[in-house]
A = this chain, B = another copy of it.
Amino acid sequence: MTLPTEHRSLVVVITETALEQTLLRDFDRLAVRGYTVSDARGKGTHGVRDAAWDEAANIRIEVICSRDQAESLLQHLQTHYYADFAMVAFLQDVEVVRPDKF
């Protein structure tokens, strides 16, 4: 069996819970068509200016989109939030079976 799949990008953003509404409004403006949010807790360096560790309430947001849109999203996050917020974002390749949805 070989299922016909298409490749998309999965963007995962892990950041402070306080940013949730702000980010979701950003996503709407950036024409993101869907996202999934789950609650998490984390520990890591807090922004680039502050190397202190903190353990805090986090959210984990997932978005599936085109590669171009994924890069725009990451660029947007880097420009607006990386310096001042605890944020980790990464991009992965995924295969989907109904690509028209993303």
Q: Does A50 contact B (CB under 8 A)?
A: no
Interface of A, helix, strand, loop or mixed by DSSP: strand
Contact across chains for B3 and A75 when beta carbons are under 8 A apart = yes
Q: Which of A40-75 contact B (CB under 8 A)?
A: 40-45, 48, 58, 60, 62, 64, 68, 71-72, 74-75
Copies in the complex: 3
| A interface residues (Cβ-Cβ under 8 A, vs B) | 1-3, 5, 8, 10, 12, 14, 24, 33-45, 48, 58, 60, 62, 64, 68, 71-72, 74-75, 78, 82, 88-98, 100-101
Instruction: Determine the chain B residues whose CB is within 8 A of the CB of A97 once the complex forms.
Output: 74-75, 78, 89
Provide the bound-state CA to CA distance between A90 and B101, in Å.
Answer: 12
Contact across chains for A60 and B36 when beta carbons are under 8 A apart = yes
Contact across chains for B42 and A36 when beta carbons are under 8 A apart = yes
